[in-house]
Amino acid sequence: MSKHTVRYVGHQNGKSVKSAPLENRNGLMQGDTLSPLLFCLAIAPISDWLHRNVTPFRLRTQTGSGPGVDDSLTIGHIFYMDDLKVYTTSRSHLLKAKDGIQLVAKQLGLRMNPDKCAVESLNGPAGSGETDIGEIPLLGANSLYKYLGTHSSP
C-alpha cells in the first residue's frame, strides 16, 4: 500500500497556517466526525439496489395473533457501516445479490473483499462444498466468522 501524507490547514490572524506533512502509515485515511455519516450515505445505493432487486428471506412465526394475521418475519439485508448480511430465498437470489453488490460498489469506486465474506445456507449443506459464489467460502456448521468485531457461529 502506498503511503499518503496529509497537511492540515487552519487560519490564524487572517493567514493560512499549514501543519508539517503527516504520514498515514496504514489503513484508510480517517477524517472528522462526519466521515461515518458520509460513508453511510455513499454506500446507501447498495442497500437501495438490494431492496429493489432481491427477494428477501421470509420466516413464518406463530405469535398467536389470531386467524388471518400474517405473523411472518421478512428480512432482506442488514447493513451496519461496511458490514453487510444478505438474506435471500435461494442460491440464485444470492448470486443476483452478490452481482448487484459488486456492480453498485464498482460504480462507487469500491469493491467486495472475498476474504471477509462467507455464505451460510439455512437449507442444509451445499452438496460438494462448492458455493457457486466465486471466491466466497461456504461456512460449515461449526465455523466461526467475525461480524461487527465479534466471533459468531452460523
Provide the phi-psi class of 14: left if phi over 0, else alpha when psi is between -120 and 50, else beta.
Answer: left
Q: What is the pLDDT of residue 128?
A: 46
Q: What is the pLDDT of residue 116?
A: 81
The partner residues of 83 in beta bridges, in order of sequence, read: 80
- The cell numbers describing 115, all together, are 476474504
Q: Model confidence over 13-52: pLDDT tens digits? A: 999 999 888 887 665 556 667 778 888 888 999 999 999 9
Mean of pLDDT values over 113-139: 68
Domain residue ranges of the chain, discontinuous segments joined by +:
32-110, 113-154
Tell me how far apart the alpha carbons of residues 8 and 19 are, in angstroms, rounded to a whole number: 5
Place of cell 467475525: 146
Q: Model confidence over 52-109: pLDDT tens digits? A: 999 998 887 766 666 666 678 888 998 888 888 898 888 889 889 999 999 999 999 9
Q: Model confidence over 96-123: pLDDT tens digits? A: 999 999 999 999 999 888 878 888 776 6
pTM: 0.66
**Axis-axis angle for helices 35-53, 91-107 (nearest 10):** 140
φ and ψ of 88, to 5 deg: -135, 175
